[in-house]
Structure 1
Amino acid sequence: MKRLLATLILALIVSPAPVMAQADPTPPRTVAVLEGPLAAQIDQGLTAAMANGFGGAVVLQVDGRTVLQAGYGYADRERRVPFTAETSAQIGSITKTFTALAVSQLAAEGRLDLEAPVRTWLPGAAEPAASASLHQLMTHTAGLADYCGDDFEPRTRDQLLTQCMALPLAHEPGRSVYSNMGLSIAAAVVESVSGQSWPEYLRDHVWTPFGMTGTGWTFPTPAPGGHAVGYLDDVSQGVISDRIAALDGADWNLRGNGGLQASAADMARFHAGLMASPEAVRTLMLQPHADGDSPGVKEGYGLFFRVDDAGRPWRVGHGGSDGVFFSYLALYPRTGAVLYFVGNNGEAPVRDQLRAVLALIEADPGVRGPTD
């Protein structure tokens, strides 16, 4: 997902005149589950944040049960639609976790080799990226540039393979440097190996079997819980799937690396589906595979691993943002606790709320687990 400035400029070019959101002294709060003191503390903080424009949802599971599932504020301020845990909202770069799961499924089935160069499945793809392995793409160690144009710059699959993959390496291979383009190439491999489009593969092998009814790339019919609108400085930025659909398939600057929408409840279903996946898939997805770009961080496939001084993971997750929405999926392997959090009123204010939520739950040993 690209820089905030690019998002703002593009919104001014392709969107209708912005609609200013109206102030609301009593924004809605929709609570499905609220159990225990930790959930009550989180709920209290997010309820207070609504006065400053927070709109979003949270799901927290501890000890195998859901203790908080709630929505706060508006998913659509103009229409006064409340945000609920079933509202579909942009997950940003957590899209990469889905692409990595697709690759891991195909690898576990023996249909691809994670260490083989991607030209194996993408004949005619340009060097130097064609020599990268899927392992390198998913751990951001292929040396690729981050972007090959802005999110909504039209980019066909053929252009990805011939023009973007021909870009000079930006870094020495082996070093972890984040690359959105790398996960788009991985999505192209999924298509080649499976014989399905990337969203069709995810629909048939992830969303439907996991029971994720509000997750998608584009939506021929509305999501059951509706779609969240994004806001920057109280100005509507619209719904991302509408802009993706307008690209009419030339969406390869986003495909595989960002732009999916899912509800908070669906992200809890995603975790349940992942944990119920075959052991070979879980082994690939739930262990680190390379050193990260900073101390205490390891690279996984579509996930980042926070590790202690002994190298043991204590938090596993991925965040996503386009500057408008901010989302975060966190798994706590020592206790099995799970958090999903999303907000629609700009990265900076939502990130502040997330930090407050993480501070509360990570002070609770029932979530983080032992620290020694």
Structure 2
Amino acid sequence: MTLGLALAINAAAPAQTAPVSIDPVVDRGATGDRLSDAFDALEAAGFTGVVGLSHEGETVFLRGAGEADPQTGRRYGPDTQVDTGSITKSFTGMLAAQLISDGTLSADLRLADVFDDVPSDKADITLHQMLTHAAGFPGAVGDDLADEDFDTFLANAFAAPLQFEPGTGYHYSNVGFSLAAAIMEHATGQSYEALLRDRLARVGIHNTGYQTAFDHERSVHLDDGRDVADTSWGGHPPNWNLIGNGGLVSTAPDMLAWRQAWSAGELISPQARDLGQTPFQDEGGGASHYGYGLVVEDDPALGRIYWHNGGNPHFNAHWRELADHGLILFVGTDQRRLNADRVVDVLTAAWFGQPYEVTAAPTASDAPIELPDTPAGQLVADFMAALSGDAAAHQAFIEARFTADMIAFAEMDRHLAMFAQLAADFGGQPVLGFEAGEQHVRFTVLAPSMGEAVAIQFDTTGSETRRIAGLQIG
């Protein structure tokens, strides 16, 4: 099941399965040409952001496209600070693995061992369960942009109903990672950011962090001038709905150096690295597992893959290591159509000389189309009508038109948050194109907030009544 990366549901899409005839790259010259061609195609199709690739510890490709600050004309480049989103969890998992490995913390440490007045249903939740999304916490318990303190976050976390008995399932949760960050602060006497920045400084990484690393002049900005601190943190230091789980800023060179040093056992010990990269928790279906803040997959063609992504309605990013090939990729962008997941897939295909497709942005038309009187046409009509309604209309559409598996993918408040963003982007806008197959419906809608027409695709089931089993933007 795939959902738009930068919408409210932050579940990361699985890595794209490649053909089974992948050979190791030996000719970097030819590979560099293929990467340049692929990046040129992405830029021509409207990609804005920064990408970096390293091979066997050496940076081999680093380019930016478009304006990081539209008001000044400053372009994306190696120095641009981007919002890494939920990639923050990878930093938290890395730190936790080191503290567990050196005995500062125990993976079996319980919430009741650290905090007072923990409710009985949460008292025995362990650090390991929080780091692997097995604690049962909901996705979130507050607003990333709110100006609120740790006590408010902790009270909300303790009051939130659990999704399942701790240790019996998997549910992607920002809450568990923020609690893990708080536990690390309690154990070390350092703030989360200081602990992280001290560790990163050991290998010469200085542009990654929260407010002590943030630089307004280097940050990506929106068209209206707001930077990451304004857009992702609410214009104040990050609150505990973000700390440890999202919102870190970084640069492409920092991200490549970080993952290389982590993977090499130089940033943390080899024992801690191996602990954190253990495929502990099945994410569902057996294709991917969650370690400590990273996804672990074994691809039949590419071998072992470690990765994570993240995003919000404005920014998204993705790092990936193809461990058997010594290849590390990072992408940070400010758009959803050619988002970081998609760009990583294109660059990976280019690296190995495999085919890829980059589609130019749809162009708006003055003449909206009339949707056909078919089950697929009715699905799109109902969707667009729901976007023009209120939260009750959104929920009614979700309950009537999503498959049971799609509904179960996230709690209803996350679905509603996604719908609220879709409504802000597409509500009341004309449908400019339509195409349907037996298991999909693809249509184009004008999105004034993005300044372009954007394609939306539903993966569908059913014939007389179509239901949505997956949703993709772009």
Verify same fold: TM over 0.5: yes
Q: Provide the TM-score with structure 2 as the length reference.
A: 0.64
CA distance, structure 2, for counterparts of residue 106 and residue 191 of structure 1:
11
| CA drift at 1:350 | 4.4
Q: How many residues align?
A: 331
CA distance, structure 2, for counterparts of residue 114 and residue 247 of structure 1:
35
Query: Is residue 272 of structure 1 aligned with residue 260 of structure 2?
Result: yes
Q: Equivalent pairs: percent with the same residue?
A: 28
Partner of 2:51: 58
Q: 1:106 to 1:90 in 2, by over 3 A?
A: same
CA distance, structure 1, for counterparts of residue 242 and residue 181 of structure 2:
10
Partner of 1:154: 147
Q: Which runs of 5+ in 1 are unaligned?
A: 7-34, 365-372
Aligned residues of 1:307 and 1:314 also touching (Cα < 8 A): yes
Partner of 1:139: 132
Aligned residues of 2:147 and 2:234 also touching (Cα < 8 A): no
Partner of 1:178: 172
Provide the secondary structure at the position in 2 that maps to 1:100.
Answer: helix
| CA drift at 1:263 | 0.3
Instruction: Tell me which of 228, 231, 242 is aligned to 2:220.
Output: 228
CA distance, structure 2, for counterparts of residue 284 and residue 161 of structure 1:
28
Partner of 1:304: 295
Query: Is residue 100 of structure 1 aligned with residue 100 of structure 2?
Result: no
Partner of 1:215: 208
Aligned residues of 1:298 and 1:307 also touching (Cα < 8 A): no
Query: Is residue 357 of structure 1 aligned with residue 357 of structure 2?
Result: no
Query: Is residue 341 of structure 1 aligned with residue 331 of structure 2?
Result: yes
Provide the secondary structure at the position in 1 that maps to 2:104.
Answer: coil
RMSD (CA atoms): 2.9
Aligned residues of 1:216 and 1:262 also touching (Cα < 8 A): yes
CA distance, structure 2, for counterparts of residue 247 and residue 196 of structure 1:
24
Structure with greater Cα Rg: 2
CA shift digits 1:139-179 (9 cap, x unpaired): 11111111102221233211222222221112343211101
Partner of 1:26: none
Partner of 1:187: 181
Partner of 2:305: 315
| CA drift at 1:299 | 1.1
Instruction: Tell me which of 257, 272, 276 is aligned to 1:285.
Output: 276
Provide the secondary structure at the position in 1 that maps to 2:128.
Answer: helix
Provide the secondary structure at the position in 2 that maps to 1:165.
Answer: helix
What aligned pairs does 1:35-74 form with structure 2 within 5 A after superposition? 36-74=29-67
Provide the secondary structure at the position in 1 that maps to 2:77.
Answer: coil
| CA drift at 1:41 | 2.0
| CA drift at 1:242 | 3.8
Residue identity in the other structure for 1:200:
A
Provide the secondary structure at the position in 1 that maps to 2:99.
Answer: helix
CA distance, structure 2, for counterparts of residue 64 and residue 85 of structure 1:
17
Residue identity in the other structure for 2:192:
W
Instruction: Tell me which of 98, 105, 128 is aligned to 2:121.
Output: 128
Query: Is residue 203 of structure 1 aligned with residue 193 of structure 2?
Result: no
Partner of 1:262: 250
Query: Is residue 251 of structure 1 aligned with residue 255 of structure 2?
Result: no
Q: Provide the TM-score with structure 1 as the length reference.
A: 0.80
Residue identity in the other structure for 1:227:
S
CA distance, structure 2, for counterparts of residue 226 and residue 296 of structure 1:
38
CA distance, structure 1, for counterparts of residue 185 and residue 46 of structure 2:
40
Q: 1:236 to 1:161 in 2, by over 3 A?
A: same
Q: 1:63 to 1:280 in 2, by over 3 A?
A: closer
Residue identity in the other structure for 1:98:
F
Aligned residues of 2:230 and 2:236 also touching (Cα < 8 A): no
Q: 1:220 to 1:66 in 2, by over 3 A?
A: closer
| CA drift at 1:260 | 0.5
Deviates more, 1:90-99 or 1:154-163: 154-163
CA distance, structure 1, for counterparts of residue 70 and residue 84 of structure 2:
19
Partner of 1:87: 80
CA distance, structure 1, for counterparts of residue 129 and residue 213 of structure 2:
34
Q: 1:247 to 1:184 in 2, by over 3 A?
A: farther
Q: Which runs of 5+ in 2 are unaligned?
A: 10-27, 355-474
